[in-house]
Structure 1
């Protein structure tokens, strides 16, 4: 029984990885027989993993049709972005109060990693690096449950929409906004950090939503 659960969990994470790497995209129908063959496992752990992913909202299930990758609605996106901002702004005071030199250095390295990436178009990797920068901020609050909740939230956001139509010039703007946020945190200025985080999230919504949800 334990071996079966471990295999299901392994398949679950592998499917998430396929989504992260854009090998499985929003709206795509999944054929569990093909997935089982691709992952070199039996159908049972694939079925179990797909059921879990559907329960978590990553997949849609239609009887007699099977599973497909969930495409996020505008209302879902608005709700998730709002929760993300509330968590980050709400806990930034605690994060700054508990900030250590190690935590600040980790945040700096995440900022640099995003700055140094070379890309000619928007990729999932950029979203992963952006998430890691923000997670590093949350991690400084020293609350494991909060960090896990925030990671799960970010994953739900960027696994549910396509990235190919997003603007590269927005990436340059994000680098500048990250730098401004980092500077405010480094100065331990809670109010300024909150202001810059709110602006960062507002600009993100204004730039992303018209592209993801046209019309």
Structure 2
């Protein structure tokens, strides 16, 4: 029987990222190259490459002479990032209302027509990518590349909780409907109405994601104590 091929750095990276995002690796937990090398049946080199990539993306913290630690989730800091996100998105809508052509708005609206919502919920990462793509498209339509760059950075910092907004099928349907309604207000060039809808949309998404995050963290603490 042929031997199973060794996991590549990319495979290890993906599996570790899934474990972090799913809280299988608890926030604050220490991970070592040796333990992971044994787990994946590889040398320390591909493990080190995967850990360095995760650290560069902010999922891990590498402390000299101490090791690698899964990044802690600080809900207060997450709240601050959401505050910044709201400010950026409000400004993006104001600018897009003036600068974004009808053709681009209509094209985006067709994508987010509630009738186009998937019958079966897509994987969370897929839905997060679509959702972020919507918001980044509006930022691009604003015509301010600096604003878009800051929004992209904020999205990366809240990604670990934002993905949890799509654990329920109803949230996918609601997201399509909310995005589509925002775009209708943009077509009418009603920035104030679009901003009200966007603010409601972001706050709802944030509340759902943070509530699930806190619940999962609490469950993981109980499991950790039971071991």
Change (3 A) 1:193 1:161: closer
1:19-38 map, 5 Å: 23-26=18-21, 28=25, 31-32=32-33
- 1:171 is displaced (CA, Å) by 2.1
Partner of 2:153: 152
| Contact 1:114 1:129 survives alignment (8 Å) | no
Change (3 A) 1:23 1:55: closer
Partner of 2:224: none
Partner of 1:58: 59
Partner of 2:14: 18
Deviations 1:32-75 (A, max 9, x none): 5758xx8x9993x9757855754663322345552244242211
Change (3 A) 1:47 1:204: same
| Contact 1:80 1:153 survives alignment (8 Å) | yes
CA distance, structure 1, for counterparts of residue 188 and residue 165 of structure 2 = 36
1:33-112 map, 5 Å: 43=45, 47=48, 50=51, 54=55, 57-112=58-113
- 1:161 is displaced (CA, Å) by 6.7
CA distance, structure 2, for counterparts of residue 138 and residue 86 of structure 1 = 12
1:134-213 map, 5 Å: 134-159=135-160, 163=164, 166-213=167-214
Specify every segment of 5 or more residues in structure 1 that has no aligned partner in the other structure, as ranges: 1-10
RMSD (Å) for aligned C-alpha atoms: 3.8
| Contact 2:31 2:68 survives alignment (8 Å) | yes
| Contact 2:114 2:177 survives alignment (8 Å) | no
> When the two structures are superposed, what TM-score results if normalisation uses the length of structure 2?
0.68
Partner of 1:119: 120
Partner of 1:8: none
| Contact 1:30 1:68 survives alignment (8 Å) | yes
Specify every segment of 5 or more residues in structure 2 that has no aligned partner in the other structure, as ranges: 1-8, 219-227
CA distance, structure 2, for counterparts of residue 173 and residue 161 of structure 1 = 15
